[in-house]
Amino acid sequence: MKTSPSSAVEEARAALGRRLRDMRKPTGLSARALAARAGWHESKASRIENGKTMPSDADLIAYVTLCGAPGALEDLRATAHGIDQMYVEWKTIQKAGLTAGQEAHVPLYARTQRFRIYEASVVPGLLQTEGYATTMMSRIIAFRRIPDDVESAVKVRMRRQRYMRDGHRHFSFILEEAALRARFGGPEVMAAQLGHLLQVAVMPNVSLGVVPMTAERTMWPVEGFWIFDDLQVITELATAQITVKQPSEIDIYAHMFSELARLACVGQAARSLIVDAVAALR
pLDDT tens per residue across all 282 residues of the chain: 444 545 667 888 999 999 999 999 999 999 999 999 999 999 999 999 999 999 999 999 999 999 999 999 998 988 888 788 788 889 999 999 999 999 999 999 999 999 999 999 999 999 999 999 999 999 999 999 999 999 999 999 999 999 999 999 999 999 999 999 999 999 999 999 999 999 999 999 999 999 999 999 999 999 999 999 999 999 998 888 988 887 888 899 999 999 999 999 999 999 999 999 999 998
| Alpha carbon distance 71, 65 (integer Å) | 10
* Number of other residues whose CB lies within 10 A of the CB of residue 152: 14
| Alpha carbon distance 37, 70 (integer Å) | 17
Instruction: Report whether CATH 3.30.70.250 matches the domain 7-86.
Output: no
Torsion angle, alpha carbons of 75, 78, 79, 85, to 10: 180
Q: Parallel, antiparallel, or unpaired: how do β-strands 206-211 and 170-176 relate?
A: parallel
pLDDT tens digits along 238-252: 888 988 887 888 899
Could you state, in order of their start, the residue ranges of all structural domains in the chain? 7-86, 94-280
Count of residues in the chain? 282
Edge-first strand listing for the sheet containing 225-228 = 87-89, 240-244, 232-236, 225-228, 114-119, 170-176, 206-211
**What is the CATH T-level fold of the domain 94-280, as seen in this structure?**
Endonuclease; Chain A (3.30.870)
pLDDT tens digits along 35-90: 999 999 999 999 999 999 999 999 999 999 999 999 999 989 888 887 887 888 89
- Asked if 14 and 250 count as a contact pair (C-beta separation under 8 A), the reply is no
